[in-house]
Structure 1
Amino acid sequence: MRAVEFQEYGGPEVLRVVEAEAPEPGRGQVSIDVAYAGVNFADLKARAEGYRVPSLPFRPGLEVSGRVRAVGPGVEGLRPGQEVAALTEGGAYAEVVVTTAATTFLLPQGVSLRTGATLPTVLPSAHALLHEVGRLRAGETVLVQGAAGGIGTVAGQLAKAAGAAAVYGVVSEASKAAHALKYGYDEVFVGSGFAEDVRRATGGRGVDLALDPVGGDTFRHSRDALAVFGRLVSFGNASSAEPWQVGQPELYPLGLSVSGFSILSLAQTAPEALRELAEHAFLTIADGTVELPVTAEFPLADASEAHRLIGSRKSTGKLLLRVGRS
């Protein structure tokens, strides 16, 4: 089979297509003939910084869609030929991938394999950020960093579907604002001055819930944009800044709350909670509550080009690698 891996850390050019034996599933695992693989910013951090890389060489890729190839001992409810989407611990940039049955999900009726590859990280993450962790209530206001990205595109729609009074987004450049405004956002701000923009848009009040995947100064500015009793959820550190710290001086005056979420960590510590979350979240695609556009698609051999596009910070929506038969 063909796979994409890197043997050293660096730029997109370190990604190489290799020939390898197709892996076989062990106990509690399934192998999948991959149709599409999702491309995520975490893949770039793995390639450049070793994020969640146990050893080299390493095959990146956290999410796939395809058909079950084989099941290992102890697996129930899955059988060869079924169309699935799966969250992996790496290795998705390949024609065959092995992952745990606990993070392999049957695709809902009417959801294509192409759409399925967009789901494993994005839909459950957006749902958890707004509901399970963010505790969004109807009538509240929301601020989302990275509003034109995969999670941002879904979060705007889910927030509006949940009855948010207003949903504000932040993007890195003006060209992305038009994309975000198609997907649930009332207003989209550009650049680092968004805290002042939020105060202006809310008459000085601030927002009830802010979602931040960036960290660093963006995390602090998001906190500054909160209303009284506001909640801030951190779900990444795209800036590679020092880990955030927050304490009594920042939280006590306005009764603020700060929490965090990582779908990859949840998959390891509470896979059954992830399964319940994913199954519920996937239905929002099946019933038309949200849509997640695929804005670029590359063949497996051009994975480096997909990385260059995401690394340019000019991409919107979801990027995919086309791997096998769909």
Structure 2
Amino acid sequence: MRAVEFQEYGGPEVLRVVEAEVPEPGPGQVSIDVAYTGVNFADLKARSEGYRVPRLPYVPGLEVSGRIRAVGPDVTDLRVGQEVAALTEGGAYADVTVAAAVTVFPLPDGVGLRTGATLPTVLPTAYGLLHTVGRIQPGETVLVQSAAGGVGTVLGQLARAAGAGAVYGVVSAAPKAEYALAHGYDQVFVGSFTDEVRAATAGRGVDLALDPVGGETFRGSLASLATFGRLVSFGNASSAEPWTVGQPELNPTGLTVGGFSILGLAGTAPAALRVIASRAFQAVADGTVTLPVTAEFGLEAAAEAHALMGSRSSTGKLLLRVATSDRSRP
């Protein structure tokens, strides 16, 4: 089978298509004939700096859609041929991948394989940020960093569906602002945002801020909170030094800081992940949320997909098209 791997860390050019053995599922696992693979910023960090890479060579990729090829021992609730979306621990840039059965989700009726590949990381992350950790309440105001990315696109829509009073986004360029405004945001700031948030909220600040960037952006998000506001960190795209915050920053206005990682949850609390994922997937099935696929590449063009995402000019969701068939639903 084909797989895309890297044997050293570096730019997109280190990605290579190789021939590899077809993996077999072990206990509690299934193998999947991959139709589509989602491209995530975590894949770029793995390639460039070894994020969550146990050893080299390494096949990146954290989410797929496809059909179950084989089931391992002790798997009783999934069947061969079933159309699924899955969260993996790497290895998704390939014709066949293996995933733990607890992170494999049958596609809801009306959700096809192409859409299914956009779901495993983005939808549960967005839902968990807003509802599980962020505990959004109707009428509250929300600030989202990277508002035009995959998670950001979903967050704007979910926050609006949850009854947010106002949803503010932050992006890096004006074209991204136009995109975000079409996906649930009331106002989008380009670049700087702290003073702009205060102005937009008449000095009050926001109730909930969601940050995947870290570093100075994290500190700016903290400074944008209203009294009793909550900040949820779900990444460190800036690769800045890990943030620290304590009583001097939190106590005076009763602020709260939390964290969220879909990959961490998959490893430590898969049952909780399944609950979050089922609720999140329903939001797609009932039309509450749409996540546009804005660019699609063949598996052999994975380096091009990485280059586009690394340019910070992409919006929405990027996919690798691995295999399709006449039986694939749209």
Shift of 1:283: 0.4
Shift of 1:149: 0.2
Residue 155 of structure 2: SS of its match in structure 1?
A: helix
For residue 319 of structure 2, what is the amino acid of its counterpart?
L
Matching of residue 125 in structure 1 with residue 125 in structure 2: yes
Task: Give the equivalent residue in structure 2 for 1:293.
Answer: 292
Matching of residue 275 in structure 1 with residue 274 in structure 2: yes
Instruction: Return the TM-score normalized by structure 2.
Output: 0.98
Map 1:83-94 → 2, pairs under 5 A: 83-94=83-94
Residue 153 of structure 1: SS of its match in structure 2?
A: helix
Task: Give the equivalent residue in structure 2 for 1:223.
Answer: 222
**CA offsets, 1:240-271, max 9 Å, x none?**
00000000100011100000000000000000
Matching of residue 21 in structure 1 with residue 27 in structure 2: no
Instruction: Return the TM-score normalized by structure 1.
Output: 0.99
**CA offsets, 1:222-255, max 9 Å, x none?**
0000000000000000000000000010001110
Task: Give the equivalent residue in structure 2 for 1:180.
Answer: 180
For residue 73 of structure 2, what is the amino acid of its counterpart?
P
Counterpart-to-counterpart distance in 2, 1:128 and 1:68: 27
Which aligned segments of 4 or more residues in structure 1 are displaced greater than 6 angstroms? none
Shift of 1:175: 1.3
**CA offsets, 1:102-122, max 9 Å, x none?**
000000000010000000000
Task: Give the equivalent residue in structure 1 for 2:256.
Answer: 257
Task: Give the equivalent residue in structure 2 for 1:311.
Answer: 310
Gap runs ≥5 in structure 2: none
**CA offsets, 1:181-228, max 9 Å, x none?**
01100000000x201000000000000000000000000000000000
Residue 151 of structure 1: SS of its match in structure 2?
A: helix
Counterpart-to-counterpart distance in 2, 1:69 and 1:52: 26
Counterpart-to-counterpart distance in 2, 1:110 and 1:76: 24
Counterpart-to-counterpart distance in 1, 2:113 and 2:55: 30
For residue 141 of structure 2, what is the amino acid of its counterpart?
T
Residue 120 of structure 1: SS of its match in structure 2?
A: coil
**CA offsets, 1:40-63, max 9 Å, x none?**
000000000000000000000000
**CA offsets, 1:14-35, max 9 Å, x none?**
0000011110000000000000
Counterpart-to-counterpart distance in 2, 1:214 and 1:28: 34
Task: Give the equivalent residue in structure 2 for 1:109.
Answer: 109
Counterpart-to-counterpart distance in 2, 1:44 and 1:21: 24
Counterpart-to-counterpart distance in 1, 2:213 and 2:76: 39
Matching of residue 189 in structure 1 with residue 171 in structure 2: no
Residue 119 of structure 1: SS of its match in structure 2?
A: coil
Task: Give the equivalent residue in structure 1 for 2:41.
Answer: 41
- Matched residues, percent identical? 76
Count of matched residue positions in the alignment of Structure 1 and Structure 2: 325
**CA offsets, 1:155-195, max 9 Å, x none?**
0000000000000000011110000001100000000x201
Q: Cα RMSD over matched residues? A: 0.4
Counterpart-to-counterpart distance in 2, 1:60 and 1:76: 28
For residue 119 of structure 1, what is the amino acid of its counterpart?
L
For residue 81 of structure 2, what is the amino acid of its counterpart?
G
For residue 132 of structure 1, what is the amino acid of its counterpart?
T
Matching of residue 157 in structure 1 with residue 157 in structure 2: yes
For residue 189 of structure 2, what is the amino acid of its counterpart?
F
Residue 281 of structure 1: SS of its match in structure 2?
A: helix
